[in-house]
Chain A
Amino acid sequence: MRTPLAWLNTIQNRKRSATAVGGICFAVLLIFMQAGFLGAAKLNASLAYRELRFDLMIVSRGYLMLTRSETIDIYRILQARNIPGVAAVHGLRLDGGRWSNRTSGGSTSCFVFGLAPGANFFRDEALNTAAARLQTRQTVLVDRLSRSSYGPWAVGGTAVINGQELSIQGDYALGMGLLADGSAIVSHDTYLRLYRIPRLDRVEFGLVQLAPGTDPAAVAAALRAALPGDVLILTRQELIDREENYFVNVKPVGIMFQVGMFVAFVVGAVILYQILASEITNRLREFATLKAMGYTERYIYGIGIKQGLIYSFLGYFPSLLLSIGLYRLLRALSSFPVYMDWSRAVFVFCLSLGMCAIAAVFALGKIKRADPADLF
């Protein structure tokens, strides 16, 4: 085996190397956290849609995102039911409300879904069954992943939303994350009373369920042709993608996480650059000696790159383990859906390599200064 010079150089001064690895580990951990927040925010943005049962969705032409959706005429729901391949179309209402914490006396945000009990709005059959119990006015299902700011509540008890007392018929697990502190599901009748709307002539969403074996794209095209231009027809995936992209690329919170990730990346690259630059400066005479011996500049650049990679590897793996632990802690504390998956692990690993590459490009220029003629 050839002498592993890069590795031996790295471990020569273990204290210094450990400090360097610690710095890189911290930067990679920051990237992991920001990437985790970003991923969770994306997931969170589309979480409600992932729970709803639909193949196509009818939304207003001015639709921005789940919580910023204009209403559509309920007549569009009726029109859509006549298109071949459509099995059912359900109107869904959604608006922000205020949940009153009876213990503290304060109020907190709560998204309220209004639906027709008995229809299969959800992919979770248990939730459909629970929703069927909302036939009675002034009843509600409450999201058990709602924040603790909701105060104590229990199924069978009562909740106060928008100043009106509702009977809690059941609960479900959704978690609104960054969108709101929690959510609740009520019937259309209750919804109209909560928001003092005289009649149900507009809804936010039209959930289109197709007959088995139907091509969603073909039906979507037929719906677009049949319905006027005041609505948009989106497939399930189109809606989820649009929702996530909007949240990540347009909403400040998504941009914030992206910028945070970029800053962590830059910090990591700067740390790695400083480590490599210092290492190369300290070893200029050694590199000059290697050049005098007949080693090519390419070989010496290779040593610098390998050291960068070694630092990246040594910094990456501890930060991977640490971030898995921190994700768990975060989930336990906030119900925020932060999960480690292979794609994120690989993505951050690639960022670590990119960090190494950028640091190396700037640091390795110093190797040019290693002039073997100066050794005499």
Chain B
Amino acid sequence: MSLPPPREVAIQVTGLNHFFGKGDAQKQALHANDLTVHRGEIVIMTGPSGSGKTTLLTLIGALRSVQSGSIKLAGTELAGLNPVQQVEMRRNLGFIFQAHNLLDGLTARQNVRMAIELTATPRADYDRVADAMLASVGLADRASYKPRNLSGGQRQRVAIARALVNKPRLILADEPTAALDKDSGANVVHLLRELANHHGTTVMIVTHDSRIISVADRIVNMIDGHIVSDVRIKETMVICAILKKCPVFKEMSPSDLTDIAQKMTEEHFAPGETIIRTGDIGDKFYVIARGSTDITVESAGATRAVAKLGEGDFFGEVALLRDQPRNATVTTREPVVVYSLSKENFLAAVKTHKSFEDQMSTMLFTRA
């Protein structure tokens, strides 16, 4: 398993606050939240009722005005947009609601057409495009049916077809599979995955449906208006795989590894760049996710290469455990991606996981 290539940022949320009400009745729903979502990612948002996840979703969807902080969609700032500009912005998005919210007077085909008619698609192609989309959600034979003649699951699939038909850059969904049976839900998830993989569509889903967790690239958890965790599923799996290969981590449970992985930060270094230098104060522990590095030590005024580290290797732990300056310099040989763990988190992990501390002591003994 390896990391996906770096991708452009689709959603950049910075210092986002949001308030409801005025004066004494004012209530803060979001508190200085930061979130970065890349193009093609599927992000699942979880959290208890009233945690602010829906408010965040509606702000990202330009359904509310940004009061404080910043939201950028593909580089376009939403803060300060007037209502007309918000409407323009929403045309690039797809919304899937828990209640299907279909137009009751229209057939399934006409409902999907309503979305197509917002685009530059030639009028002659409206029906063809709508029918193809309905076929892709398994409703080819229901195109002429009105919502009242469709089952709950079928209605939701029409709503999904309507949201996906223009291949939007961003899809915002609220419990999209809540009304669907297992197969229909899987079909919808498959569609979302396809759009994310092949069209780079970013998908944000608010859900409590554990059946669709597997589709997520990230799981963002919110409590009381704060993003309390942002688990990058694929990256965590990559980091855990690397950590698992290291002798010092191999005895740890997946849960412990995940805890550590979630606290690690991705860092990029150019070829020839120094990651740590001899004599510096040790402040981080590193694992190499991509690329290779040289380790050099200085003795008697001369620099001597002592080792080469590559993908899956780690370094920087000695200075943290012994609270000493760095005893070697690590320089990149090529573009390198590392995940770093702060000294504070590293030492906390050592204390929490006894086996980890034992392993590290053993490892230090062998390196000494």
Which of A9, A296, A373 has the most chain B CB within a 10 Å cutoff?
Answer: A373
A1-15: which residues lie under 8 A (CB-CB) from chain B? 1-3, 5, 8-9, 11-12
Residues of B within 8 A of A290 (CB): 103, 114
Task: Give the residue name and chain of the A residue nearest to B84 (CB).
Answer: A296
B297–chain A nearest beta-carbon distance, Å: 58
Given contacts A8-B106, A295-B118, contact A375 B87 (CB under 8 A): no
B84–chain A nearest beta-carbon distance, Å: 7
Q: B97 within 8 Å of A by Cβ?
A: yes
B64 contacts which of A9, A297, A373 (Cβ < 8 Å)?
A: A373
Q: When chains A and B are docked, how far (Å) is the Cα of A289 from the Cα of B93?
A: 13
A342-376: which residues lie under 8 A (CB-CB) from chain B? 371-373, 375-376
A286 and B95 form a contact (CB under 8 A):
no
15 contacts between A and B (CB under 8 A): A2-B117, A3-B114, A8-B105, A289-B103, A290-B114, A293-B90, A293-B91, A293-B118, A294-B90, A372-B95, A373-B63, A375-B97, A376-B54, A376-B57, A376-B206
A5 and B90 form a contact (CB under 8 A):
no
Q: A291 within 8 Å of B by Cβ?
A: yes
Q: A292 within 8 Å of B by Cβ?
A: yes
Q: When chains A and B are docked, how far (Å) is the Cα of A5 from the Cα of B113?
A: 11
Q: When chains A and B are docked, how far (Å) is the Cα of A19 from the Cα of B115?
A: 32
A275-334: which residues lie under 8 A (CB-CB) from chain B? 285-286, 288-297
B87 and A294 form a contact (CB under 8 A):
yes
Q: When chains A and B are docked, how far (Å) is the Cα of A293 from the Cα of B104?
A: 16
A5 contacts which of B61, B105, B115 (Cβ < 8 Å)?
A: B105
Residues of B within 8 A of A3 (CB): 106, 110, 113-114, 117
Q: B358 within 8 Å of A by Cβ?
A: no
Residues of A within 8 A of B110 (CB): 3, 8
Q: When chains A and B are docked, how far (Å) is the Cα of A361 from the Cα of B54?
A: 34
Q: B58 within 8 Å of A by Cβ?
A: yes
Q: When chains A and B are docked, how far (Å) is the Cα of A1 from the Cα of B113?
A: 11
Q: B190 within 8 Å of A by Cβ?
A: no
Count of chain B residues with a beta carbon within 8 Å of a chain A beta carbon: 33
Residues of B within 8 A of A297 (CB): 83, 87
B97 contacts which of A12, A291, A376 (Cβ < 8 Å)?
A: A376
Q: When chains A and B are docked, how far (Å) is the Cα of A294 from the Cα of B105?
A: 19
Which of B57, B87, B88 has the most chain A CB within a 10 Å cutoff?
Answer: B87
B40–chain A nearest beta-carbon distance, Å: 22
Residues of B within 8 A of A294 (CB): 87-88, 90-91, 93, 118
Q: When chains A and B are docked, how far (Å) is the Cα of A296 from the Cα of B54?
A: 23
B26-84: which residues lie under 8 A (CB-CB) from chain A? 54, 57-58, 61, 63-64, 83-84
Q: B352 within 8 Å of A by Cβ?
A: no
A376 and B174 form a contact (CB under 8 A):
yes
B187–chain A nearest beta-carbon distance, Å: 22
Q: B101 within 8 Å of A by Cβ?
A: yes
Chain A to chain B: the 7 pairs with minimum beta-carbon distance, closest first: A294-B91, A12-B105, A373-B63, A289-B101, A8-B105, A9-B105, A373-B58
Task: Give the residue name and chain of the B residue nearest to A11 (CB).
Answer: B105
B101 and A375 form a contact (CB under 8 A):
yes
Given contacts A375-B95, A376-B57, A376-B58, contact A12 B104 (CB under 8 A): yes
A292 and B63 form a contact (CB under 8 A):
yes
Q: When chains A and B are docked, how far (Å) is the Cα of A2 from the Cα of B130?
A: 13
Q: When chains A and B are docked, how far (Å) is the Cα of A5 from the Cα of B106?
A: 8
B249–chain A nearest beta-carbon distance, Å: 41
Q: B123 within 8 Å of A by Cβ?
A: yes
Residues of B within 8 A of A376 (CB): 54, 57-58, 63, 97-98, 174, 206
A292 and B118 form a contact (CB under 8 A):
no
B114 and A286 form a contact (CB under 8 A):
no
Q: When chains A and B are docked, how far (Å) is the Cα of A295 from the Cα of B118?
A: 8
B87 and A291 form a contact (CB under 8 A):
yes
Residues of A within 8 A of B83 (CB): 297
A280–chain B nearest beta-carbon distance, Å: 13
